[in-house]
Amino acid sequence: MDNRQAIGSWLSGPRAAAEQMGVDFGHRGQRLGLPESGPGSIAPLGRRFGALFIDWGLSSLIAYGLLSDGRAASTSNWTLIVFLAMAVLTVGTLGLTPGKRLMGLRVVALSGQRLSLPRAALRTVLLGLAIPALIWDRDTRGLHDRFSGAVQIRV
């Protein structure tokens, strides 16, 4: 193996390196019984990040317009509080946030049912900590989704 192959496998991650060696993981979500593409398949990372940025922007606008006294430090704290409250309420009742709605995504339990409010709260608290959301399994589910028994799918 030359240096370019070694660097390429490091940059693309262990999954890509293992697939180059002939390991067949199947498609993302196959272990969960989800289709490879289309409605019900695992949501792509780009759409999930897009939904997160939309939700954070909306939370920031709400915090700035309604809850802050105009100081930048208090606005960022209120933004996080609004974001967490919005995520718990909307995912726990509707199964999606405004950003997920715009991006065509939904959060469901592994059974395909709506995520219960306590599980949505656990998922949101872990998402607020950020670290669990940055550690993924081979189906690209963050630890916040794994611990709450949830999966983000395309609608």
Query: What confidence tens digit (pLDDT) does each residue in 83-140 have?
Result: 999 999 999 999 999 999 999 999 999 888 999 999 999 999 999 888 777 888 878 8
Q: Which residue has better confidence, 104 or 142? A: 104
Question: Is the predicted pLDDT of residue 60 greater than 80, yes or no?
Answer: yes
pLDDT for position 25: 65
5 confidence band (pLDDT: 50, 70, 90): low
Residue 136 DSSP code: B
Max Cα distance, the chain (Å): 59
Q: Are 62 and 68 in contact (CB under 8 A)?
A: no
pTM recorded for the entire structure: 0.77
Where is average pLDDT lowest: 13-22, 34-43, 44-53, 71-80?
Answer: 13-22
Strands (E), the chain: 105-109, 150-154
Question: Is the predicted pLDDT of residue 70 greater than 80, yes or no?
Answer: no
Q: Which residue has better confidence, 52 or 2? A: 52
H or E stretch including 82?
helix 72-93
Length of the chain: 155
pLDDT for position 130: 84
For residue 47, CA distances in Å to 67, 73, 77, 78 come to 29, 29, 25, 25
pLDDT for position 86: 96
**Separation CA 153–CA 107 (nearest Å):** 6
